[in-house]
Chain A
């Protein structure tokens, strides 16, 4: 039979039963007999939610059944399947309400049947907050009692609310398992129609929490699809009625997972999983449910208090040192089907198989998958490893990429800490902090020396090279959007950083990739997309879109900025700048000084003195704050001629940026060793002496057009 035939036949069967039952009830009680579920203000909640009509008597119920009939179209389109599913669910509600005639109490311990509005208000809050991450509807009879118990327990452990329908209830009773709302396992009833009581919860939640107008079926289904994280686990054998009910669930956006073979699968909606022990993982993946990890399972503490802890050689059990032997740490984006969530593998010896005080290899590869994951986020995640591993009590970490160094203390080792626990920490931290982009995560830790060598040279280093190439190829022209950053507005209310690939935030801490990741992880946060579709002046880097964004994010305080000029509409500064650049009139160039340099500059001002006139979110032509990394950029005050204008920097800063500055100068102007033409405090802090030095070096700024 096709899915159409199955659903239609199940729907027809239930409809027939319902019609019979209503007629019989009318015969017995009369059409004016009042009907209702106890403790709800929503009449027959499902029918009311879908149609907006309240049903109060048997006579009205019969009319309602006529409306249900109109849903049962048979035109062989998927829409007909869904609507027949909804019709089946409504019929089930009608059958169930008949059980409550005359204030009867049709359900007895442990079954709940209809759930009161108060229960929904109470469950609704943790559902909205994610404390209850999902709702499982388990239906039918598990292959064995052990399977039933294991499945329910797996959901319980994740905080998922479990509702039960049918024989599975008896299986749990038989195993002596506790049920009830307080343990988040709610047996509804033995009849398949009792499944409507959980549908009723979902629909009332939409009315209460979603402000959905009763009768607005389109938005109702949109709400349940987007906001009610429910799914169905239906055990084989499935009959037509169950499949028809399942179609109703799918119409509400709830996927059905079954172990029944031979069912025609519908991607993301009707999924066959023959192995019942995998129902949990399959269901969570199908419904996009992410479980918050509140407790990391390691034998020592994990807290930022341990971040600064240093482990001396004498206190050390074992160490791993990337500067001596092959090591690596790496995040890899993979397809979801390639990995198993929370799988942690150690390839090679564990810590207890390593000699006390020995130096060993380690390479850990954190494989992540997610719909919103992008390879650009890999280094952003990777950079956090240092912080994660350092937060472990008795473990210390420095360095990154293939140069990391880790020590595990004797105390931590004696408390039972092993290498696999590093995997636990990485897994939990990545899943928690990057939950917006990481859906699944698996960790492989290599300690086998040969494997570490392979991972380092054949996997990690090529990846790092690729990333570096990508960074080099990232130019302002090669991307479609820039990002705003308004993290500093708390103390500099009108400042807005426009972060581009070639101009990172002036604090030096927010690159374009960071801003992109921040935006993805926190869509309402400080970094927002700025388009760059309407250029005004390419020379100074001015765009209509950028100006509009700056006006918006500065609440109107700033009207226009240029990205590449220090003289015309320069970007503002908050106060966090790593460096300040200011014009030096005698030499026709600019002087840069950095926060760490306490001495005098040729401008006659120190860093703090310059800072006081550069910060505060105001435009000060001739001065700008910027990050150190920006100094080597081809876009550094491009409008005024670029880095050729730099005449002076503190010696230490010069050394830090020398390589990139020389490279850029060579590329742009064909000048070799440009940095040697730039003055510093050991050469001069007096403008006249500086000019003498520049003249001697034949510095290009001297012969350039005047800046003012």
Chain B
């Protein structure tokens, strides 16, 4: 019997969200198939890859240090990040703002955001410091200083969505990330309250949370899978926002990517381990339904963007 292909058609789409301005603007989402099911229907927009840089400077990894060699100011670092092979956007992470860490002031961080915003021409994503109170203060200022750049501000969370959503989504016309912790209902609830606040569904990108592969990753797969399922097969428009995943953050903070070579000689090169964790995690979240990933190592960025091209 001949094989009869029966495409799985959905009468619903993931929203298309544009980030950035001009030629380099990118579109996230838009698909009406499961991830990379190009045999069902063409994927509207290829998933996008971003390069993470931090206000805390260049990570102490030889390959990353080499790549950014010579860049001293945040503007120079950002320009280099923008030029990474396969990069679609730059993500500035303001981890130094964490009150339990470097606790940099909002003014200091905003100066960095401005410097980076002026330096790059590619779309910009800015990630807060993850402390909900500090982010509630910091991210509205980020949205303000980036007026006109159509940036994506990460993230509004349940505790601070009003401040972040109102500033980024309403007052300063940016795109807003909605972050929840690997739970379809919390993701949906946040989207509901954000839209009730007045933020347009088309201005929201979800960060539904992640883990490095091997660290309870099945929860991530199941959450993303169910979100895409509900969005497409049940036409649930409170789950049709594209998904962005901060992979660098998760994959470089697990023991495989941190244990030193002295402690774990049998594990081999630390850098290779980190890249491996980053590439595996990124590939897995993309296959589970993420529309964009944020990575740190130039080699990971190149690898994943090549993977996407070949799968499209």
A-to-B contact residues, CB < 8 Å: 121, 124-126, 128-131, 208-211, 486, 489-491, 493, 524-526, 552, 555-556
Contact = CB atoms under 8 A, between A and B. Distances in A.
9 contacts: A124-B170, A128-B163, A128-B166, A128-B170, A131-B163, A490-B182, A552-B234, A555-B184, A556-B229
A486 B185 CA distance: 8
A626 B253 CA distance: 40
B162 A129 contact: yes
Contacts of A486: 185
Contacts of B61: none
A493 B166 contact: no
A489 B187 CA distance: 12
A453 B171 CA distance: 58
B59 interface: no
B183 A129 contact: no
Given A124-B166, A125-B163, A208 B184 contact: no
A490 B183 contact: yes
State which size class the interface on B falls in.
20 to 34
B264 interface: no
- Shortest 3 CB-CB contacts between residues of A and residues of B: A128-B166, A129-B162, A121-B171
Contacts of A130: 162
Contacts of B193: 524
Contacts of A491: 219
Given A209-B170, A490-B185, 16 more contacts: A121-B167, A124-B171, A125-B167, A128-B166, A128-B198, A129-B136, A129-B163, A131-B163, A208-B170, A209-B166, A211-B200, A489-B185, A493-B184, A493-B222, A493-B226, A555-B230
Contacts of B144: 121
Contacts of B170: 124, 128, 208-209, 211
Contacts of A525: 189
A700 to B, nearest CB: 42
A128 B184 contact: no
A209 B198 contact: yes
Contact of B229 (A131, A526, A555): A555
Nearest to B233: A556
Contacts of A209: 166, 170-171, 198
Given A526-B185, A555-B226, A555-B230, A125 B166 contact: yes
A125 B140 contact: yes
A491 B200 CA distance: 30
Interface in B97-137: 136
Interface string B192-204: 1100111010000
Nearest to B230: A555
Interface string B165-180: 1110011100000000
A131 B137 CA distance: 12
Given A121-B172, A125-B163, A493-B222, A210 B185 contact: no
Nearest to A490: B183
Contacts of B182: 490
A524 B166 contact: no
A525 B186 CA distance: 9
Contacts of A526: 185
B166 A210 contact: no
A644 to B, nearest CB: 38
A556 B236 CA distance: 12
A562 B305 CA distance: 49
A56 to B, nearest CB: 24
B197 A128 contact: yes
Contact of B234 (A128, A131, A210, A556): A556
Nearest to A131: B163
A182 B193 CA distance: 30
Contacts of B165: 128
Most A-side CB within 10 Å, residue of B222, B226, B234: B226
